[in-house]
Amino acid sequence: TTHSLLLLPGDGIGVETIAEVERLITFFNSKSNTVRFHVERDLVGGAAYDAHGVAITNEAMDKAQQADAVMFGAVGGPKWAGVPYQHRPEAGLLRLRKDLDLFANLRPAICYPALADASSLKRELVEGLDIMIVRELTGGVYFGEPKEIVTLENGEKRAVDTQVYTTHEIERITKVAFDLARKRRNLVHSAEKNNVMRTGVLWKQVATDVHKSYALDVKLEHILADNCAMQLIRNPKQFDVIVTDNLFGDVLSDEAAMMTGSLGMLPSASLGAPDPKTGRRKALYEPVHGSAPDIAGQGLANPIATIASFGMALRYSFDMGKEADLVDTAIARVLDKGLRTGDIMQPGMTKVGTGEMGKAIEAE
């Protein structure tokens, strides 16, 4: 099997952390007789603007459309503060999300035992935590019409945001959640507020309907979103996959992120619709962090968020769950051995740079 992967390192530490993913790809290609990664590379963000005057070229977009998955580093930095708005570095990422129709945002909250003391919660609550928040990304209250601020006759102002969801939008996001649960621990919590919102009523109904074709092996629980926020703090390990709308997902994924320690540890994925021929979903994998201009180019960045994002690509795009487990285990072992980049440094641990961390993970 050949898997095609487009690497878009972007700017700042994106370049350095994607280099560590390339190290792992080279490793996999040299070890496996059955699976091969075919890698393409291109520019995005400020780097693309410097070379071509746009944040991503049409050629790079074509490659992204063709690839089985895209690995994205990070974009932006002070160097591009003055570029025209439509060409700002973020525009590259926004175009990728829009043109690939990446409606599902996956944010795992993983707590490696060695870092459990950096969590906002007690060690016993988060040690070994591994939950996945699936956030609907292209609909809901951030996009619904009308969306306006109007001045009333009495001079008062009235602001309106509108939450809109269609059956189709809820179907496709809940399918993503059930598909993911099958590659995990077979449990999905669907979070909404059907007690006060019509979108919540429809959400619950559609989730229940979609679940029918997964009922043999995946369990579905409905939970009110406010209770979900509370349960995440009370006992996070009760969850496997949480699927929710754009607004609740924004809040719940940030809440969950605080259980895991550093920004340099957080991977993410954005998925689109399945290809009608292959069933494979369009996918973009990226660390949650940005280009970190304050440490860029110095070999100081923590590559784990980007490497863990590659692990997600193995699991969710390439059906290489065993290899994904190897990546996760390697990360956990390297942390257990006491290796730390600056952002996760603790007393008594060994401080390493980006390349040393990447090499240590490869060795494990």
Active site residues: 142, 193, 226, 250, 254
CA distance 209 to 181: 17
Residue 136 in contact with Mg ion, rule: CB under 5 A: no
- In single-letter form, the type of residue at position 329 comes to T
Residue 53's alpha-carbon distances to 14, 36, 84, 87, in angstroms, are 20, 34, 10, 7
Residue 44 as a binder of ligand NAI (CB under 6 A): the answer is: no
* Short-list 237, 242, 317, 306, CA closest to 272: 317
Q: Is 290 annotated as a binding residue?
A: yes
Answer yes or no whether residue 140 interacts with ligand NAI by CB under 6 A: no
| Residue 8 or 170 having the CB closest to ligand NAI | 8
Binds ligand NAI (CB under 6 A): choice among 139, 261, 290, 311: 290
Helices (H), the chain: 13-31, 46-52, 58-66, 90-99, 123-126, 167-182, 198-211, 225-234, 246-257, 304-316, 321-336, 354-363
Question: For residues 74 and 335, which CB has a smaller minimum distance to ligand NAI in the complex?
Answer: 74
Residue from the set 6, 56, 60, 93 that interacts with ligand NAI by CB under 6 A: 93
Contact indicator for 231, 100 with CB cutoff of 8 Å: no
Q: Which is nearer to Mg ion, 50 or 254 (CB)?
A: 254
Using CB under 6 A as the binding rule, whether residue 76 contacts ligand NAI is answered as yes
Q: Is 37 left (phi over 0), alpha (psi -120 to 50) or beta?
A: beta
53: its two tokens? 């005057």
Place of tokens 């520019």: 43
**For ligand NAI, the closer CB: 261 or 264:** 264
Q: Is 42 among the annotated ligand-binding positions? A: no
Residue 54 binds which one of Mg ion, ligand NAI, none, with CB within 5 to 8 A depending on kind? none
The span of 106-114, 127-135, 242-250, 350-358 binding Mg ion (CB under 5 A) equals 242-250
250 binds Mg ion (CB under 5 A): yes
Name the site residues for Mg ion (rule: CB under 5 A): 250, 254
Binding residues: 77-90, 97, 107, 135, 226, 250, 254, 290-302
